[in-house]
Chains A and B, each alone.
Chain A
């Protein structure tokens, strides 16, 4: 049974009342105290560091809804397109980048997205030669609020008419009931962020265990969904090899590797600003203990040999599970690709091509 998200109050921002998505959400969350409010004034500086994960704010978003992932020239980017459904999520992972956006607290849902889908559709149609890999999991967990927001009812029919787009829903949760009850499967990827059991238990507060996530993935696979996995962030900790091997063992137990579209690997990285936030909000966390250096993109990342060792190990154990998982690295250099995986797409265009081909093969698309 689907649980309602742990929302204690709802704030309907000025202008949000006009959208049917607002009514639908309020209906699903009937009984939760609701107030109508003006726009939130952004906080400046570190402030109280309270992300207020118990308040759901429904608001119209004035910016671009579909945007390319903000990769950098210095590292190879996958060329993903972000569908901006909202920001923040009820989980509280110690490493979460969203903690740096402390000037925008609360669980923010952009209720006017539905009215912009035609524009997005036009954009996809105008670029019919291009395959769009679209995801909603960049600024929020794709499924954490799904029982309340029901995006699948909006996105899936939209996607069913778009032959040049795949939609990836990235999550750490088990909120898949809405998806499973929908009739749509084509060009939809449900993917899970995975980690070692140790990291999941200590650093991913509020998230289900790795096994529970993979049981949800199994249900999706059984019901005809294509699935993906993201070992991101990989975190160096005592006994990490065995710890990550155990996660792959659970994958082996529960998941049919032939139905996996891709598996990404990305070592922990963070904006320098986030360090103080992590120390204050998660004093027991040890994720910052290992050797970090300042990368070319201005983020802190593990010293090169650590990253190479972790990727090489993960690649090895994943290939022992199955030899065609579409393993790729997130935001890494050509050198790291070569040294850890033994091959490289050379640049972001090459990686985009590789992932497009994976999608085309899995969904029988011609690209």
Chain B
């Protein structure tokens, strides 16, 4: 029996309880959103019956239509119409490919689903074949390290997978966490989710945390149990973005104390200058460049002249010095 013949095979009814609730060995949907599908089935019925295979031990695995089965179970249908591919003669790999291609043409996979697909393929195919043939199909670079990253993703807890699938944690952040012990990894991801960090903030958060813990020989819970962090996290007057900014700022001050002191000192010195409206003074990133920058915005020449005149009379301007000089030992 080939794929076309399966699609034409008679429809059988299976007790919904007999069909596995998990995706099984062939399906690649991770916690799909079922709302639109349920509405569609309610309105138009099941247009395309799922394909299943019955395993020797009595288990029924879904080959195609996993989301439809979840939707039908949600609608509490006792009997589910399916096509039975048990005697199709197709190998497990062919059944897996059937599912992949059916999904591939109709939707995009999230990263956890890509991880599920790769984990299934390495079971049947050489790593080399998976890297060369299937990773490009999933829009992933053909690299061993990327394959390892996704195989590792497949082994994570549901909390982590869910965060990745929903796009709350970036793959880059996950990669940065890969070398941590599982417990610490989960803890950091939980904190990142609580703080609703942007992807850039996540990377900063991870790097600063690992740097500090490595340098100071403390573990991650020990660091975040410090009163300064607990105070921010439990401060009800701060919203998540404010907490995120405060936490990141505090981590940076621990990791880069001299730079942080210099930046604060510079901010203080500039604020004490009494600059006229529409002017600001900034430093190069990390003070790496030798120059500072004065920006003056103005509506016309007269306003520019006025602002320059005010600048010219600022007594403290001449005293503005490199704030980092104090950090030379």
A residues lining the B interface (CB < 8 Å): 43-47, 276, 279-280, 286, 288-289, 291, 293-296, 303-306, 308-309, 312, 333-335
Contact A303/B290 with A44-B141, A294-B285, A309-B329 known, Cβ cut-off 8 Å: no
Contact A291 B259 (CB under 8 A): yes
Q: Which of A46, A47, A304, A309 has the most CB of B within 10 A?
A: A304
Contact A291/B257 with A43-B144, A44-B141, A44-B143 known, Cβ cut-off 8 Å: yes
Contacts of B256 in A (CB 8 A): 291, 293, 303
Judged by a CB distance under 8 angstroms, whether B39 is at the interface is: no
Contact with A along B139-153 (1 / 0, CB 8 A): 001111110000000
Contact A276 B214 (CB under 8 A): no
Contact A305/B145 with A293-B288, A295-B288 known, Cβ cut-off 8 Å: no
Please report the C-alpha to C-alpha distance between residue A47 and residue B141 in the assembled complex, in whole angstroms.
Answer: 14
Please report the C-alpha to C-alpha distance between residue A279 and residue B215 in the assembled complex, in whole angstroms.
Answer: 11
Contacts of A47 in B (CB 8 A): 144-145
- Of B43-51, B194-202, B242-250, B320-328, the segment with at least 4 beta carbons within 8 Å of chain A is B320-328
B284, chain A: closest CB distance, angstroms = 9
Contacts of B327 in A (CB 8 A): 303, 305-306
A289, chain B: closest CB distance, angstroms = 4
Contacts of A305 in B (CB 8 A): 258, 262, 324-325, 327-328
Contacts of B285 in A (CB 8 A): 293-294
Judged by a CB distance under 8 angstroms, whether B286 is at the interface is: yes
Contact B179 A294 (CB under 8 A): no
The residues in B between 124 and 164 inclusive whose CB is less than 8 angstroms from any CB of A are 141-146
Residue of B nearest to A44 (CB): B143
Contact A304/B288 with A44-B144, A45-B146, A293-B259 known, Cβ cut-off 8 Å: yes
Contact with A along B234-262 (1 / 0, CB 8 A): 00000000000000000000011111001
Judged by a CB distance under 8 angstroms, whether B121 is at the interface is: no
Residue of B nearest to A286 (CB): B215
Please report the C-alpha to C-alpha distance between residue A296 and residue B286 in the assembled complex, in whole angstroms.
Answer: 10
Judged by a CB distance under 8 angstroms, whether B211 is at the interface is: yes
Please report the C-alpha to C-alpha distance between residue A289 and residue B290 in the assembled complex, in whole angstroms.
Answer: 25
Contact A303 B286 (CB under 8 A): yes
Contact with A along B257-295 (1 / 0, CB 8 A): 111001000000000000000000000011111100000
User: Size class of B's contact patch?
Assistant: 20 to 34
Contacts of B286 in A (CB 8 A): 293-294, 303-304
Contact A45/B145 with A289-B215, A293-B259, A306-B258 known, Cβ cut-off 8 Å: yes
Contact with A along B285-329 (1 / 0, CB 8 A): 111111000000000000000000000000000000000110111
Sorted nearest first, the 9 A-B pairs with minimum C-beta distance are A45-B145, A293-B286, A44-B143, A45-B143, A305-B327, A335-B290, A289-B215, A305-B328, A46-B145
Please report the C-alpha to C-alpha distance between residue A286 and residue B142 in the assembled complex, in whole angstroms.
Answer: 34
Contact B328 A309 (CB under 8 A): yes
Contact B214 A303 (CB under 8 A): no
A95, chain B: closest CB distance, angstroms = 15
Please report the C-alpha to C-alpha distance between residue A122 and residue B262 in the assembled complex, in whole angstroms.
Answer: 53
B209, chain A: closest CB distance, angstroms = 13
Contact B257 A276 (CB under 8 A): no
Please report the C-alpha to C-alpha distance between residue A293 and residue B263 in the assembled complex, in whole angstroms.
Answer: 13
Please report the C-alpha to C-alpha distance between residue A308 and residue B290 in the assembled complex, in whole angstroms.
Answer: 13
Please report the C-alpha to C-alpha distance between residue A289 and residue B256 in the assembled complex, in whole angstroms.
Answer: 10
Contacts of A280 in B (CB 8 A): 179
Q: Can you report 13 A-B residue pairs in the complex whose CB atoms are below 8 A from each other?
A: A44-B142, A45-B144, A276-B179, A288-B211, A291-B255, A291-B257, A291-B258, A291-B259, A304-B287, A305-B262, A305-B328, A306-B327, A333-B288
B60, chain A: closest CB distance, angstroms = 39
Question: What 7 additional pairs, Cβ within 8 angstroms, besides A289-B215, A303-B259?
Answer: A291-B259, A293-B259, A304-B288, A305-B328, A308-B328, A309-B328, A334-B290
Please report the C-alpha to C-alpha distance between residue A51 and residue B136 in the assembled complex, in whole angstroms.
Answer: 27
B190, chain A: closest CB distance, angstroms = 23
Contacts of A306 in B (CB 8 A): 258, 327
Contacts of B143 in A (CB 8 A): 44-45
Q: Which of A279, A296, A303, A333 contacts B179, CB < 8 Å?
A: A279
